């Protein structure tokens, strides 16, 4: 059944995330990063690579791989957070770098994923994604507030389509 979902999942990402939605996500990330010292990356994948399906990898496994591939871990303050969406499995995963993971409980990330999943189930992808980014930013602002010092944007704010 899992293979079928990935093999027949031929709908393009743009069906759920048209340009306006991607722009809204981009803007939400940029706005959120003014409130905290974290770096947020939003990645959307239509279907998992077949090699990963053959290896029986989970969406969490794939999210951790994408976290590494996109170098979300490679920020000056170990402050990267990946929001990963796998459309074929309706999976949402949040992976946080060690500097953040040590201070934010997994239950906080799971609550964000659950809320996003509710919005996505109602086919409100843009709102679900933007609210997810805003919720992640609120968590980061609470634990890692902006310090007022100018800093570089280490990760692009634009969503990544895999």
The full set of domains in the chain, from first to last, is: 2-161 (3.10.310.50)
How high is the pLDDT of residue 95? 97
Per cent of the chain over pLDDT 70 is 93
Q: Examine the pLDDT at 33 and tell me if it is beyond 70.
A: yes
Cβ atoms 48, 86 nearer than 8 A: yes
Question: Lowest-pLDDT range, 65-79, 99-113, 120-134, 144-158?
Answer: 144-158
- DSSP 3-state percent helix, strand, coil across the chain (nearest 5): 50, 15, 35
Cβ atoms 120, 112 nearer than 8 A: no
- Contacts of residue 55, Cβ cutoff 8 Å, sequence gap at least 6: none
Cβ atoms 106, 22 nearer than 8 A: no
How high is the pLDDT of residue 153? 85
Question: Lowest-pLDDT range, 33-37, 45-49, 107-111, 128-132?
Answer: 45-49
Per cent of the chain over pLDDT 90 is 65
How high is the pLDDT of residue 148? 79
Phi, psi dihedrals of residue 54, rounded to the nearest 5°? -60, -35
Q: Terminus-to-terminus CA distance in the chain, angstroms?
A: 22
Q: Examine the pLDDT at 3 and tell me if it is beyond 70.
A: no
| Average of per-residue pLDDT values in the chain | 90
Segment 12-26 shows an average pLDDT of: 90
> pTM of the predicted model, to two decimals?
0.91
């Amino acid at each position: 059944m899992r293979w079928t979902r990935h093999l027949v999942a031929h709908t393009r990402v743009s069906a759920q995330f048209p340009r306006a939605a991607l722009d809204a996500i981009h803007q939400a990330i940029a706005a959120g990063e003014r409130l905290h010292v974290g770096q947020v990356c939003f990645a959307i994948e239509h279907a998992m690579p077949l090699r990963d399906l053959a290896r029986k990898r989970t969406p969490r496994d794939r999210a951790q791989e994408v976290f590494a591939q996109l170098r979300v871990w490679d920020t000056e303050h170990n402050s990267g957070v990946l929001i990963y969406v796998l459309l074929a499995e309706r999976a949402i995963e949040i992976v946080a770098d060690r500097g953040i993971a040590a201070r934010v409980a997994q239950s906080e990330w799971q609550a964000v994923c659950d809320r996003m999943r509710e919005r996505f189930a109602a086919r409100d992808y843009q709102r679900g994604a933007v609210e997810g980014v805003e919720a992640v930013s609120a968590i980061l602002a609470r634990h890692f507030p902006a310090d007022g010092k100018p800093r570089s944007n280490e990760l692009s704010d634009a969503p990544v389509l895999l």
